[in-house]
């Protein structure tokens, strides 16, 4: 029936043209939907960016060894003996002198002054060696030079320098009683390591009174992703109470700490959606009441009730789509690329960037359309069932 189609189009166009009569109310309903969508997208883009930052740090080429059950680098402790035993396990790549390639590292927390808020927050400081430096993906010194072993020198990650004051090249910074000189700035292509300070592991051991102990060991795998040899060694030796994961898996797990954030985002958005839905329902019921006589007149002329139904439903969908687009654009303009940092799980401050994607934006539009669909359905149903005799009721 082409007639039904042209009827629907006519009624929709008439409803859209009558929107100025209900301008403020329709605008309010549209903006309520926009806010819901913007909130949802903020959460989603935040967790998306966080996940990407962490996943970007990890590689399948290395395995990370922590004390069993420690879950994070910060909570792990490994004695020198354990480090010596585990690094002889099979599956670790060897250098030209047939020595295993590994990096025993320390991981401590120091204070930094955040530029945006001027408050003290934790930043991670990593004790590392040249080998440890080389094990990182995409790592390079962008300014200055590498620290010299045995000296109180640090190199700062690019986002540390961006987000915290006092880490300019050549600056001296004080952590507790020790003073350090910033001799270099490094980048790792935007991954989580850029939110760290790096110094010589041996110097850190003495300055932070760690004796001979370390916290984690990273080993270069002879075959990427294959940690069987290491797992077998742990299984066979009761002295080794260790967790072994590829670095990629390790960071992925850390990234999931923000999975709760996504859930929270959805819950908050759905609760707010109920508010927006109430607004949409109210607006559309008023729209139907206002158009009662027009709807009945069209019905008297011979227009079908299907056209009254879809005319109203589409009006609602148009308003909600508009809200969805406004919310999406707002979220995109204000959130995408916004850099922030968060206390991620047991992690310390990790700088990351809100990252929108077309998938996320679709989520926002779909949520808006669902609100519009439900908010329009019941009023549309009423419109379809209006008695035609209303056309003859007086009162212009």
Nearer to other proteins among residue 14 and residue 85 (C-beta): 14
What does DSSP assign to residue 1? Answer: -
- Residue 313 has a CB neighbour count (10 Å cut-off) of 25
| Residue range at the interface with other proteins (CB under 8 A); choices 7-15, 84-92, 252-260, 330-338 | 7-15
CA 127 to chain centre: 28
Options 38, 64, 298, 383; binder of other proteins; rule CB under 8 A:
298
Tell me the two tokens of residue 195. Answer: 């939110």
Ranges within 326-365 binding other proteins (CB under 8 A): none
Kindly tell me which residue out of 177, 209, 211, 396 binds other proteins, with binding defined by CB under 8 A: 396
Helices (H), the chain: 2-17, 23-57, 80-86, 130-135, 158-163, 201-207, 228-236, 247-255, 259-290, 292-301, 305-335, 358-385
Specify which residues 350 forms β-bridges with.
342
Q: Cβ 3 to other proteins, closest distance in Å?
A: 6
Instruction: Please tell me whether residue 23 binds other proteins under the rule CB under 8 A.
Output: no
Do the Cβ atoms of 331 and 363 come closer than 8 Å? no
Q: How far is the CB of 389 from other proteins (least distance, A)?
A: 5
Interaction of residue 394 with other proteins, rule CB under 8 A = yes
What is the pattern of x (binds other proteins, CB under 8 A) and - over residues 299-318? xxxxxxx-------------
Nearer to other proteins, 183 or 288 (CB): 288
Told to check if 209 binds other proteins by CB under 8 A, we report: no
Site string for other proteins, 254-293 (x = CB under 8 A): ---------------------------------------x
Q: Which residue bears the tokens 């069209």? A: 298
Check residue 391 for interaction with other proteins (CB under 8 A). Answer: yes
Q: Are 267 and 358 in contact (CB under 8 A)?
A: no
The count of C-alpha atoms lying within 13 angstroms of the C-alpha of 192, restricted to the half-sphere facing its C-beta, is 29
When asked if residue 7 is in the footprint of other proteins (CB under 8 A), the reply is yes
User: Which residues contact other proteins by CB under 8 A?
Assistant: 2-3, 6-7, 10, 14, 17-18, 293-294, 297-305, 387-389, 391-392, 394-396
């Amino acid at each position: 029936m082409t007639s039904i189609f042209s009827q629907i189009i006519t009624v929709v166009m008439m409803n859209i043209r009558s929107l100025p009569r209900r301008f403020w109310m329709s605008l309010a309903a549209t903006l309520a939907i926009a806010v819901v969508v913007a909130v949802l997208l903020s959460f989603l883009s935040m967790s998306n960016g966080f996940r990407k930052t962490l996943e970007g740090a990890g590689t399948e080429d290395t395995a990370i060894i922590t004390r069993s059950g420690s879950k994070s680098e910060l909570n792990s402790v490994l004695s020198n003996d354990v480090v010596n035993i585990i690094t002889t396990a099979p599956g670790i790549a060897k250098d030209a002198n047939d020595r295993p390639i590994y990096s025993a590292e320390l991981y401590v927390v120091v204070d930094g002054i955040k530029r945006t808020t001027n408050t003290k927050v934790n930043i991670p400081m990593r004790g590392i060696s040249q080998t440890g430096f080389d094990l990182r993906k995409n790592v390079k010194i962008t300014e200055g030079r590498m620290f010299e072993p045995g000296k109180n020198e640090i190199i700062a990650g690019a986002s540390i320098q961006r987000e915290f004051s006092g880490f300019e090249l050549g600056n001296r910074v004080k952590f507790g009683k020790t003073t350090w000189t910033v001799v270099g700035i490094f980048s790792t292509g935007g991954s989580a390591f850029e939110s760290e300070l790096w110094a010589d592991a041996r110097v850190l051991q003495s300055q932070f009174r760690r004796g001979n102990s370390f916290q984690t060991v990273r080993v270069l795998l002879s075959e990427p992703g294959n940690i069987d040899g290491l797992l077998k060694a742990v299984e066979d030796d009761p002295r080794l109470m260790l967790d072994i994961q590829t670095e990629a898996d390790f960071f992925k797990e850390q990234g999931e700490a923000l999975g709760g954030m996504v859930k929270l985002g959805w819950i908050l958005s759905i609760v707010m959606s109920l508010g927006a839905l109430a607004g949409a329902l109210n607006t559309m019921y008023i729209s139907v009441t206002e158009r009662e006589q027009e709807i009945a007149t069209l019905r008297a002329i011979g227009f079908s009730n299907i056209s009254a139904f879809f005319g109203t439903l589409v009006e609602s969908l148009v308003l909600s789509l508009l809200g969805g687009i406004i919310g999406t654009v707002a979220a995109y303009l204000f959130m995408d690329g916004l850099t922030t940092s968060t206390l991620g799980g047991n992690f310390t401050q990790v700088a990351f960037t809100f990252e929108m994607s077309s998938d996320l934006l679709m989520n926002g539009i779909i949520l808006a359309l669902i609100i519009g669909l439900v908010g329009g359905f019941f009023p549309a149903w009423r419109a379809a069932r209006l008695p035609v005799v209303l056309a003859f009721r007086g009162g212009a």
